[in-house]
Structure 1
Amino acid sequence: MSNFNKTDEVAIATIRTLAADVVGKANSGHPGAPMGMAPVAHVLFSRCVSGPRSFPERLLIVGLPRFFNANPKSSKWFNRDRFVLSNGHACALQYILLHLCGYKLSLDDLKNFRQVGSLTPGHPEAGHTDGIEVTTGPLGQGFANGVGLGIAQAHFAALYNKEGFDLINNYTYVFTGDGCLMEGVASEAASLAGHLQLGNLIYTSSIDGDTAVAFTENVEQRFLSYGWQVLHVDNGDSDLDSIAGAIAEAKKEKAKPTIIRLRTTIGYGSKQQGTHGVHGSPLKADDIQALKSKFGFPAQQTFHVPQETYDSYAEAAARGAQAEKAWVDLLAAYGQKYPKEHAELTRRIAGELPAGWEQSLPTYKSSDAAQASRKLSEIALTAITPSLPDLMGGSADLTGSNLTRVKGTEDFQAPSTGLGSYKGTYIRYGVREHAMGAIANGLSAYGGIIPYVGTFLNFVSYAAGAVRLSALSKHQVIWVATHDSIGLGEDGPTHQPIETAAHFRATPNLDFWRPADGNETSAAYLVALKSKETPSILSLSRQNLPNLENSSIEKAAKGGYVVHEEANEKLTIVASGSEVSIALEAASKLKAEGINTRVVSLPCWSVFDAQPQDYKLSVLRSGAPILSVEALSTLGWQKYSHEQFGLFGWGASGPYKQIYEKFGITGTNLAAVGKKIVGFYQERGIQVYSPLLKAI
């Protein structure tokens, strides 16, 4: 006998018809996938794991758990199950579910789908709509985010769960499609998830279209080879018992992630069902009316939600509220028995950093030995890690080059492998840069974790899609990006990032740091760790950098400061990273020729831009031309300088000092360039204003 009844059929029909209305009113969107996935969505979000379904017995099932364990009235409850819609173009489905479940999303919000200022944008956006965990739309990203959410749960459970106190036991459910599975980022993430044996991940992949022209691989065999459990539901259109059974079976598997291959009919119920025509275009008016009539709904009425559907989802919400209350009581009892762990866990849930952690950041004098900023980064991480359990690091198979693993740190690994445990805080990502970035977004989205990840700066470009979503979603992810210029030397143009800094400096809500010495490196970590809603990239050198005489954490934390002051200057040189010390050498040579030259270090443009205008104008002041110097593309430096010196093409292979000489980035050549600039402006009597002075 089926566990499902007429009420479930009505609810599923409600989702399907609402999807048609939502997309139809906007005259934009994707109705097909929401209509096809309505049954699995309904089973996941509203139904109990087991129990009676008949109307007179509804009150009896309030205490039973449902598959998806969350409280819509408290959407940030820490132990909630997480849901990710990786195929974010199907967001009408997620918005409908959020509305029915009782999140802060009204029927009017559904009517404003894809309209300016609405809570229902064209793809789900974290932080914008109540109940959305991660931003999805670029295919495959949500798939990888889910792996990050799963890692976070396993880590917290290993750290804080005690006998009798199963505090952290949530699951991550991900809806995905064949489009996501074609993206390389999903394959990278799936491979790692299988290796890590993340049994808390349950993915549902809908098969709703013909992919024969480009995608004929055996997906099941691929995921089996990754170490996943693969389950099948052949009739995802109406076999609710099989859907429920598959989810229940997935929850039993504790040592493997699960993917349920669900065969559905795209646009189920419409005249175009099963065709690509219903994928990304609204249904025609007559088709929508016929769809409603088919399901017994008023054909002319739009956005119709039967009361019994609202009642059904209200029951699910009541179960979620009851589950949260039980958890809060359990947490309080935990605090009585384990006060130290309780204090740390609640601090992390609240997103607060430990008091005084910044006091451990290393400081430097100019007499201290020159070191590569990647080494200075390692020193900083080693100093702050003991007081910051929130940090969870990793590298894309470049640990020895990125210097991201603090000595004594345990690897995050499945306990059965003998390679580490889920208590570990260092993730071996393998050569999977894109998945690493997207997984880090999931770690950040879970809460209580500040992820940092490492690779060469050049290969952060591999993960640009994930970095962009970090910035858009306000995920606090820190990239330790080493080998940051032609200074990496012999590996040559293929590894030397020329354009990368310009790309990421142009990205809104992303702090790109290029520190020049030890104090600036510590400042980068200080600001990055305090910036709860902004990701950061720390662009670090391979070559040794001298510690500057006038640097400090306090000065560098402003993003830019005067590192060498001169009165009545004729030139200011502004630089970042490894070129600051070269600029100082040039200034000394110019001084010897009677040309007073100031030097400004600008380690982070976006942080400097946020400073008061008076301060910025004191650093990059009027009166003398400003020359920017960087061993990268000059694009963007026009905002801070009148003249720019850098690279206008690719780098070269060879010892780094010879490469710097080849491109003229030496104290001697920069002094000659500076002298030429001073003469140019003096000869023409040009009145020089700060480049920061603009009309708008």
Structure 2
Amino acid sequence: MTDLDTLSVNTIRGLCTDAVQKANAGHPGTPMGMAPVAHTLWQRFLRLDPADPVWPHRDRFVLCEGHASALLWSLPHLTGVRTVDPRGEVLGRPAVTLDDLKSFRQIGSRCPGHPEYPWTSGVETTTGPLGQEVATSVGMAVAGRWLGAGFSRGDFTLFDFGGYALAGDGCTMEGVSAEAASLAGRLQLSNPCWIYDSDRVTIDGHTDIAFTEDVGASRAFHTCRAESERPPLVLVHSPIGYSTVEDPPKAHGTPFGPEGSHQARPRIPPDADFHVPDGVPDRFARGIGARGAGLRTAWERTFDACRSALPAFPADPKGLASRDPSGQVLDAVAEAVPWFLGGPADLTPSTKTRLTFAGARG
């Protein structure tokens, strides 16, 4: 991890603890411990273009530990995620501004106490009830596989996006989490990658990450990407309230106080609340920003090539009865859409609605 990467991690920590301190409410402990892992994931692995956060082929990031939302709010701010309006149009303004962070947990804030979809761009799902979000991440993985099976054609792979779900002890204690995990294993889903944040539990046979550097995190996420037959689980030992307090239960959901907040931000001036050092935004722009834009552009080229390979229906100079091209279109649509059904009782010869492509049933 370079000095600038370390500064970026400490900036995440500083923004999180400052937001909680200003609101005098919130959960600073988890963001402090998980900042290095979140930094590594977003900066180096997450398939996301901050300039187009609703790009269909993006990876989905689910913060199952919704109470740790300060961690999520700092990431769109530092990476420059853009706002998306209710119609799905990407706007020029940032999704989370510094003023938004300063209004953390306040009425009308873009940074509420738990992530709210679609209130703030960059949030994939509302999180709060423990366990629900683990199941949601499995649903997203099922949707990704379904889209890939339905829309990928020949050499064109349009959808194989993944997902990452950051979960803690409370999330995994709920029955719905075990049921969702069982389903993911039964379906042999290779995502989501569950990042299990625990400072107390040791599970043998899984990848352990040192919380002070990103070498272990990078190795773990590379392993996750290589998995093809089962949902991977990454175990992270992250001390609650790392570097700030000696009382972990208190650090879970209590502001650190001015002195503790300053201690949580190494190399950041103690009197500079909500401080983003020079070079940190540019570091993210050259990381996830450039990488995400390149991945999205490459996907759009694939999408355009796939679209150009679709059947064309040029006009017949002699003219055709409308039922003839209608039948051709129905055939093309039905071949691409497996659940397409239709029929006109006994009039198929007249209306040209009998499907004739290879594999058609009827």
- TM-score of the superposed pair, with normalisation by structure 1: 0.42
Q: CA deviation at 1:231?
A: 2.6
Tell whether the 8 Å contact from 1:150 to 1:171 is kept in structure 2 after alignment.
Answer: yes
2:272 is aligned with 1:297: no
- Taking the aligned partners of 2:35 and 2:243, their CA distance within structure 1 comes to 11
| 1:174 counterpart SS class | strand
Decide whether the 8 Å contact of 1:231 with 1:246 is kept in 2: no
User: Residue 95 of structure 1: SS of its match in structure 2?
Assistant: helix
Distance between the aligned counterparts of 1:254 and 1:202, measured in 2? 11
**SS of residue matched to 1:299:** coil
What is the aligned counterpart of 2:111 among 120, 128, 131? 120
Query: CA offset at residue 291 of structure 1?
Result: 2.7
- 1:360-379 residue pairs with structure 2 within 5 A? none
In structure 2, what is the equivalent of residue 107 of structure 1?
98
CA distance in 2, matches of 1:337, 1:231: 44
Q: 1:157 — aligned with what?
A: 148
DSSP-derived class of the 2:279 partner:
helix
Cα 1:196–1:169, aligned 2, differ >3 Å: closer, same or farther? same
Q: Quote how far apart the aligned CAs of 1:219 are.
A: 5.6
Residue 328 of structure 1 corresponds to 300
Match of 1:281 among 254, 258, 266: 254
Give, in angstroms, the shift of residue 330 of structure 1. Answer: 1.1
Contact 1:113 1:120 in 2 (8 A): yes
State the number of aligned residues. Answer: 302
Aligned partner of 2:290: which letter?
A
Is 1:140 aligned to residue 118 of structure 2? no
Q: Whose strand proportion is higher, 1 or 2?
A: 1
Q: What is the distance in 2 between the residues matched to 1:252 and 1:180?
A: 25
Map residues 239-388 of structure 1 onto 2, 5 A cutoff: 239-272=213-246, 275-292=248-265, 295-315=266-286, 316-339=288-311, 386-387=340-341
State the secondary structure of the residue aligned to 1:12. Answer: helix
Could you tell me how far 1:161 is from its partner in structure 2?
1.6
CA deviation string 1:534-555 (max 9, x = no partner): xxxxxxxxxxxxxxxxxxxxxx
Match of 2:345 in 1: none
Q: Among residues 20, 24, 49, which one is paired with 2:21 in the alignment? A: 24
Q: Which runs of 5+ in 1 are unaligned?
A: 48-66, 212-217, 221-229, 341-384, 389-696
* Cα distance in 1 between the residues matched to 2:102 and 2:119: 17
In the alignment, which residue of structure 2 is the partner of 1:85?
63
Runs of 4 or more, structure 1, over 6 Å off, are none
> How many Å separate the matches in 2 of 1:18 and 1:120?
12
Contact 2:197-2:238 at 8 Å conserved across structures: yes
Contact (CA 8 Å) 2:245, 2:251: kept in 1 or not? no
CA distance in 2, matches of 1:74, 1:192: 31
1:307 Cα deviation after fit: 2.0
> 1:35 Cα deviation (Å)?
0.7
The one-letter amino acid of 2:280's match is T
1:254 & 1:305 partners in 2: Cα distance? 39
Report the secondary structure of 2:118's partner residue.
coil
Alpha-carbon separation, structure 1, partners of 2:291 and 2:191 = 21
Aligned to 2:32: 35
CA offset at residue 234 of structure 1? 4.5
Cα RMSD, aligned residues only: 1.7
Which ranges of structure 2 fall in alignment gaps of 5 or more residues?
82-94, 313-338, 343-362
Say which structure, 1 or 2, has more relative contact order (CA 8 Å, 6+ apart). Answer: 2
Pairs within 5 Å for 1:190-229: 190-208=181-199, 210=200
**Contact 1:100 1:310 (8 Å CA) reproduced:** yes
Structure 2 match to 1:379: none
TM-score normalised to the size of structure 2?
A: 0.80
The C-alpha deviation readout for 1:429-455, integer Å capped at 9, x for no partner, is: xxxxxxxxxxxxxxxxxxxxxxxxxxx
Paired amino acid for 2:264: L
CA offset at residue 143 of structure 1? 0.6
1:363-512 pair list within 5 angstroms: 386-387=340-341
The 3-state SS of whatever aligns with 2:206 is strand
Identity %: 40
| One-letter code aligned to 1:252 | A
Distance 1:78 1:233 in 2: 31
Larger Rg over CA atoms: 1
The equivalent residue for 1:130 is 121
Distance change (3 Å), C-alpha of 1:101 and 1:339: farther
Partners of 1:200 and 1:314 lie apart in 2 by 26
